[in-house]
A and B are shown apart, each in its own frame.
Chain A
Amino acid sequence: MQTNAIQVNGLHKSYKQLQVLKGVDFEVQNGSIFALLGSNGAGKTTIVKILTTLLEQDGGTAAVNGFDVASKPDNVRQSISLTGQFAAVDEILTGRENLIMIARLRHLDNPRQISDDLLNRFSLNDAADRRVSTYSGGMRRRLDIAMSLVGKPQIIFLDEPTTGLDPEARLEVWKIVKELANNGTTVFLTTQYLDEAEQLANRIAILHEGKIIANGTLADLKKLFPPAKVEYIEKQPNLEEIFLAIIGKKEKI
């Protein structure tokens, strides 16, 4: 039997008066890259927090790796790792110490070896024994993602992994994400950048006003775009145009 890596049904969440999620449904296949697209305040982080057991939903169900997030949070935590929207690294420790700390907390056998490997892989060797407070934004993000890879979790959540990075650092993160998926890891990422979803994801879902208003492969989403226009415009519509077209359509109704 093949369960989905992530299965979300009718998810609701409000903060006091503010209704953020109004019935969110989607699923993520094992080993795929899934991008959740949405503008500022759409509720992307809220979904990530529910899926990573940091926040309880008000209604609906969510299962990660076959385990219900509300009733089996410990099993969920065994299967995942989270790279939050803001780098979750210890500034006072060195890069190496950060990695060793996570390896110890995951009760792995050879923390030093694991940290050496990851420092190598993420080109952080030279900075390994410097305090993280001296790192650049890109280095910090690389370390942050490296910390999430300790222990090889099956499902990785990346909440806006490239926000605030320069183009070069962004390409590096993309490379890392692609490598992960090639090795069979399921990647759930959120982004505001349409080209990022276009570059990385097997499936893309668009979150708007509390619901998923579109969900499919890039080709599926392109079909949603009025075909008549394609005839007159040389260039293929990119995701940005599709996104704006869909939102525009919804708002007219």
Chain B
Amino acid sequence: METINKHYFSDMGVMLGRSMRHILRSMDTIITVTITPIAMMLLFVYVLGGAIQTGMDNYVNYLLPGILLMAISSGIAYTSYRLFMDMQRGIFERFHSMPIARSAALWGHVLTSLVSNAISVVVIILVALLMGFRSSAGILSWLAVAGILALFTLALTWIAVIAGLSATSVDGAGAFAYPLIFLPFISSAFVPTETMPSVVRAFAENQPVTSIVNAIRALLAGQLVGSDVWVALAWCVGIMLVAYFFAMRVYKKRM
């Protein structure tokens, strides 16, 4: 036991190094993950945006938070894909029969998910800057945005872990992400919720994406964030804890 505890972080480091190589050698996944959100951004800004009344004069600024969430939602499909492949190929069995902390292999995937999604987010922000995105946010606000996005990624990552561990086919491993990718459409991500029919509006205003989008939007605009940021945090942490709990149960059962 002692040796295992002593080496926990160095083991995690090895796992992270492995995953980073995976990410760097499959840059095409970053492109695949970012291309659809970028296309959506172009479509909404240059085709539909003129007709949308948001109350903000710069539609890219309005749109960006939702686009980022969309990218993360599609990015985590790869998290469950990578996990599924590791299980299939038996490399997990090798790790688990070695004297290292069992959770190190799993946490390696979680860290990978954070890093690769962070790369996608940066790529999309750079494209948004080219398209006219501007922010008056200070360093603290940016840190808060990064924190919220990281929590959101973590929450979805644990859902991806459940999917990756329990999937029986490659397609199944990624399928869970599709509904998540479309959640931003029924939220305040693209248009204000006020114009939606009442049932849709009720859903939109009470689902996690709206509060997260509103909080990030306010932070980037350098405005005071109201209760949205707390609702957003509560959603992220809540989803994360529930998903973590179930992911661990599946993990124990599968291992």
Contacts and interface: CB of A to CB of B under 8 A. Distances in A.
A81 B26 contact: no
A91 interface: yes
Interface in A185-226: none
B134 interface: no
Contacts, number: 68
B14 A86 contact: no
B3 to A, nearest CB: 8
Contacts of B199: none
B56 interface: no
B91 A88 contact: yes
B89 A86 contact: yes
A77 interface: yes
Contacts of A101: 14, 17-18
B205 interface: no
Interface stretch (B42-50, B96-104, B217-225): B96-104
A154 B210 CA distance: 57
Residue in B7, B18, B255 with the greatest tally of chain A CB atoms within 10 Å? B18
Interface string B109-149: 00000000000000000000000000000000000000000
Q: Is the interface of B mostly helix, strand, loop or mixed?
A: helix
Contact of B21 (A86, A87, A92, A105): A92
A89 B11 CA distance: 17
A104 B14 contact: yes
A106 B11 CA distance: 9
Contacts of B17: 101
Interface residues of A, number: 29
A7 interface: no
B255 A54 contact: yes
Contacts of A93: 18, 21
A81 B97 contact: yes
A81 B98 contact: yes
Contacts of A131: 25
Contacts of A81: 97-98
Interface string B1-27: 101100100110010011001100110
B96 A90 contact: no
A140 to B, nearest CB: 11
A164 B95 CA distance: 24
Interface in A82-113: 82, 84-93, 97, 101-102, 104-107
Nearest to B1: A74
A77 B90 contact: no
A97 B21 contact: yes
Residue in A54, A82, A86, A104 with the greatest tally of chain B CB atoms within 10 Å? A104
Given A92-B21, A93-B18, A105-B14, A77 B97 contact: yes
A39 interface: no
A121 B26 CA distance: 31
A78 interface: yes
Interface of B: 1, 3-4, 7, 10-11, 14, 17-18, 21-22, 25-26, 89-91, 93-100, 255
11 contacts: A54-B96, A54-B255, A78-B3, A88-B94, A90-B91, A92-B25, A101-B14, A102-B94, A105-B11, A105-B95, A147-B94
Q: Report the 4 A-B pairs with minimum CB-CB distance, sorted nearest first.
A: A88-B90, A88-B94, A82-B97, A77-B99
Given A52-B97, A82-B94, A93-B18, 5 more contacts: A87-B90, A88-B89, A90-B91, A101-B17, A147-B94
